[in-house]
């Protein structure tokens, strides 16, 4: 019975949001589109018009690489970050997942594990033992979420440079990448998206 009441409340909220010029985060500039993919896109940071993937496609094969980095950074004494606003250090465990719809026809892998390990290490060495304030400048808040996207972008860039993404008839890697940075066993952030 509780499940039915909860569902009624959720549906009522969706109807209210769809009929009002508002969102769950406050007043919206325009009436939101009221179909699931638009709502999901908006919740994932898109505008609902297809600028962000609405969901990860079904990709049953995954290869993951784990590494770590030690960094220093600050949030430039921004009061929103409390005591973390000043200069401090962090050690991140970094997981990078490569997901694919199918295995390479000859090698039966998602991606060459050696090449994937090397790519992850090459991206991470740009940040390891460095002060991220020096790497990105004083205007950038190098949150864990921001760093997930930076690592993701670095991996996609290397994949493109090495022509490992869907070149011609031979597909060396085609799929989805997810980067997770673990601050501790209690806190982590992720960024994911298509490799192309």
What are the pLDDT tens digits along the chain (196 aa)?
455 555 445 445 454 444 444 444 344 444 344 434 454 444 444 455 555 666 778 899 999 999 999 999 999 999 999 989 999 999 999 999 999 999 988 889 999 999 999 999 999 999 999 999 999 998 899 999 999 999 999 999 998 887 665 555 455 688 999 999 999 999 999 999 998 8
Q: Identify whether the C-beta of residue 102 lies closer than 8 Å to the C-beta of residue 168.
A: no
Structure tokens at 118: 């090397």
Find the helix or strand (DSSP H, E) in which 147 lies.
Answer: helix 144-161
Find the helix or strand (DSSP H, E) in which 43 lies.
Answer: helix 36-43
Give the separation between CA 83 and CA 169, rounded to whole angstroms: 53
Give the separation between CA 17 and CA 106, rounded to whole angstroms: 51
pTM (whole model) above 0.75: no
Q: Give the rounded distance of the alpha carbon of 90 from its chain centre.
A: 19
């Amino acid at each position: 019975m509780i499940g039915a009441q909860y569902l009624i409340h959720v549906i009522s909220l969706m109807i209210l949001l769809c009929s009002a010029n508002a969102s769950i985060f406050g007043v919206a500039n325009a009436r939101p589109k009221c179909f699931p993919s638009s709502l999901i896109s908006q919740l994932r940071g898109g505008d609902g018009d297809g600028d962000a993937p609405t969901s990860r496609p079904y990709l049953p094969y995954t290869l993951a690489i784990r590494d770590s980095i030690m960094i220093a950074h600050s949030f430039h004494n921004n009061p929103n970050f409390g005591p973390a606003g000043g200069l401090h250090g962090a050690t991140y465990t970094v997981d990078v997942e490569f997901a694919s719809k199918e295995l390479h026809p000859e090698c039966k892998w998602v991606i060459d594990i050696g090449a994937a390990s090397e790519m992850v290490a090459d991206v991470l060495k740009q940040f390891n033992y460095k002060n991220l304030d020096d790497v990105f400048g004083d205007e950038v808040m190098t949150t864990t979420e921001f760093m997930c996207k930076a690592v993701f972008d670095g991996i996609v860039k290397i994949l493109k440079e090495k022509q490992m993404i869907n070149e011609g008839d031979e597909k060396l890697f085609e799929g989805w990448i997810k980067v997770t940075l673990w601050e501790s066993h209690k806190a982590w952030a992720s960024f994911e998206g298509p490799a192309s």
